[in-house]
Amino acid sequence: MARAETFPERPGRGRPQLRSDEETRAIIYDAARHEFAANGYAATSTETVARRAGISTKTLYRLVPNKAALFESMVSNRLDQLAHALDVTLSAGDGADIETALTTALMFCAEVSLDPEVVALQRFVLQESSQFSDLATTFYRNGALRLIAALADWLRIQIQRGRLKLDDPNEAAGILIGMVASAPQRAAVYGGVPLPSRSQIERRVKFCASLFLKGCRAPD
C-alpha cells in the first residue's frame, strides 16, 4: 500500500502568522513549479499545489486568484530569480577579457535554458497550448524574452565600452542563446534525447562564444 503523503502542520486559529505573504508565495511557486513540470497544466490543480505547499486552498486563493495566474506568477518568479543571478554573474566577470566574460554569460544562459525543469515546462506548454492558448505566450514572454533582455543589456554595456561592435544587441542576444541552447532543447523535447552534461554544455558554449567573437569583436 502506498504511504500517505504528509504535510507540515498548519498553525491553529488565533495563532500569529508564522511567515509573511511573500514567503508563502515563494513556497507556493516552488510547489507549483514541481507540479506543473511533473504533471502538466491540465492535470495540475490548485488543490494539489496547496497540498504540496502545506497550506489551505483558502490561503492559496487569497494570494493567487486562479490557476492561470498561478502559472504566470510562477514563471515570472522563477525568471526574476534567474535574471538576478545572471546580473550577479555578469557583474562578477566585468574585469575578465571579453571571451571569458561572454563564455561565463552564455554558460549561465545555457544552464537555465537546459535545466531539466525548464525543459519539462517547455514540453508540456507545447503539448497543451492548443487547449490552453495563453500558456505559450506566458512562457515565452516571462521566460525566453526576459533571458534575452538580460543578456542584451550586458551586450549593450560591452558595446559602450568599445569591446564589441553590434548593430542590434537584442537580436544578437537571441542568436547567442539560440546557438547554445536551441538544438539540445529541441532534441530533448521532440526526440527524447537526454539533456547534455555540464562538460558538453561547456564545450558548446566555448565554441559558440569563439564563433560569435570572430565576427563581432571590436578591433583593437
d(CA 165, CA 69): 41
Query: SS3 of 157, please?
Result: helix
Q: What residues of the chain score a pLDDT lower than 70?
A: 1-17, 83, 89-90, 92-95, 216-218, 220
For residue 164, give the DSSP letter: B
Residue 116 confidence (pLDDT): 87
CA dihedral for 191, 103, 30, 7, sign (positive or negative): positive
Closest C-alpha among 108, 122, 95, 101 to residue 186: 122
Residues 110-157 pLDDT 10s: 988 898 888 888 888 888 878 887 888 888 877 778 888 888 988 998
- Specify whether the CB–CB gap between 101 and 62 falls below 8 A: no
Which superfamily is assigned to 67-216 in CATH?
Tetracycline Repressor, domain 2 (1.10.357.10)
The rounded distance, in Å, linking the Cα atoms of 183 and 192 is: 12
pTM for the model stands at 0.71
